[in-house]
Amino acid sequence: MIWRFNISLLFLCDAVFGAAFDSGEQEIVRNELNLTAVILFIAFVLVTLLITYYSNKRTQSAAAFFTAGGGISGFQNGLAISGDYMSAAAFLGLTALIFSYGFDALIYPVGWTIAWPVILFLIAERFRNLGKFTFTDVIALRLEEKPIRIIAALSTLVIVVFYLIAQMVGAGQLIQTLFGLPYALAVIFVGILMVCYVVFGGMHATTWVQIIKATLLLGGTSLMALMILYLSKFDLKYYFDLAINNHPKGDAIMKAGVFFKDPIATFSLGLAVTFGTAGLPHILMRFFTVKDAREARKSAFYATGFIGYFFILTFILGFGAIAFVLGDPKYVDADGNFTGATNMVVIILSEILGGNVLLGFISAVAFATILAVVAGLCISGAGAIAHDLYTTTLKKGEVDSKTQIKVSKISAVVLGVIAIVLGFLFESQNVAFIVGLVFGIAGSVNFPIILLCIYWKGLTTRGVFLGGLLGLIAVVSFVILSPSMWVKTFGFEKAIFPYDHPAIFSIPLTFFLLWFFSITDKSPRAKIDKEGFESFDFRAKTGIGASTAIEH
């Protein structure tokens, strides 16, 4: 059976990466139904729902609901972070980019991997010592609580909602392609499962969904990479020669400049993927699930290893697809051009390597990948609403744990409904600008605020509020005026801002604004902010006064 589907979104590959693939209708030759995929898919859902049922008994307090009581080990948390971070876009989209452009696409895995040493050395340990449930806790501990929590929580919600849109659109298209389900049904199904994990299992269930997903993904990609190397006789020269001979671009795939032609755009993208990661609230929230700073540091260390290993595997898979998919006459035309859907190339590769069994396994893993990411986003958004806005800002902390959990669960349901509705509305839209906006806000607003809050004594509430607000307006404006939105979405002939990724301009701008509005702040509150830095820094370094794990 031939399934046709529109890949104008290129399954988040274009969305996350801003990749220059052509839109249009493409074809992929697939079996009508893959029983292995269906069985593994059902097994994954049943296992994770059982974990959720078990976790429900362990989430009777706010700390247990938001952070699994701080009882996750560093190794487990590192694996869960990997599961939260390694999205379907990275698995399918990055492989597709390497398949299409070769060596030049490596800026993405390099940038994403570099982000983790930044988090390891600059953020993880101090973050665990300073925070409790959300990244907003860290900033609010030092500065005036109410305005800081409002702006940080809103930033979190914007990131979560926009990221959920991209994930839901991608989920609908992927499941429609792999399992033949209607787009609307696929989106509803993912939304319901996401809400179930969070509402009934909290962070404990979310963590184990992410751990299982990471294990399956790393295992599946490792097996595929090993099979590719085996078929290449473990001879890298033979492996690369085969890829060069099969690719229409020839040896250009081994050189830089095929995908990126402008060094400014390249550097800006590198900054976005590096510092954007360090500002994603659903990633930062995971450092509060361990008992202390030592385990937080171990979490970042293990996550760096798992994520770096995964991106090495995607490189092998990308060139393996060039070598073996383009080497199969079934998938190329008379001129040697690929006739399938580029974003599904790793799925096609799995069928070539291992037949229907491996195809079914990798298809089920791709689905598990989506669920793990959306669950992490949902609990992060629920935390921002219930903890930052309702409990701390609106009720000034005078809320019992039971009420806080109730509000969190209601928030998760509302976010699930919003995600499903927006998934419908954005079905045929180009969401490239949305994820560009997510990484723009995370890297250009959250990261500068977090870094200066932890390390600079002179930061003030006024500096964060005005600097963060203007930085947010600036990065949103840059994204709106960029080619991906101004030209491709709005239909104007020429973009006002020439780059799709504004990080090279917006990150320094936000740092400057934070600095300027802080040093010019002579208010009484500014004096309190600066005088409180020593005790704040002492807690960050020693962990004395930090929140502790709870007994279950």
Q: Specify the pLDDT at position 175.
A: 81
Domains in the chain, start-ordered, CATH in brackets?
2-97+139-542 (1.20.1730)
Whole-structure pTM over 0.95, yes or no? no
What is residue 32's predicted lDDT score, i.e. its pLDDT?
55
Q: Output the pLDDT for position 431.
A: 64
Say if CB 41 and CB 12 are below 8 A apart: no
Length of the chain: 552
CA–CA gap between residue 366 and residue 85 (Å, rounded): 14
Q: Distance (Å, rounded) from C-alpha 420 to C-alpha 168? A: 7
User: DSSP label at 111?
Assistant: H
Q: How far apart are CA 284 and CA 118, in angstroms?
A: 13
Q: What pLDDT, on a 0 to 100 scale, did the predictor assign at position 72?
A: 92
Could you please report the per-residue DSSP string of 253-289?
GGSTTSS---HHHHHHHHHHHHHHHTT-HHHHGGGGS
Q: In terms of Cα–Cα distance, which of 378, 380, 381, 382 is closest to 404?
A: 382
pLDDT at 549: 54
- Long-range pairs, 486-494, Cβ under 8 A, ≥24: 488/430, 488/432, 489/429, 489/430, 489/433
Alpha-carbon distance values, 135 to 126, 145, 147, 207, 517 (Å): 11, 13, 15, 18, 22
**Residue among 214, 256, 241 at smallest CA distance from 319:** 241
- pLDDT < 50 positions in the chain: 1-31, 551-552
* Three-state secondary-structure class, residue 548: coil
221 phi and psi angles, rounded to 5 deg: -70, -35
Looking from the CA of 351 toward its CB, the CA atoms found within 13 Å total 19
Task: Please tell me the predicted confidence (pLDDT) of residue 550.
Answer: 52
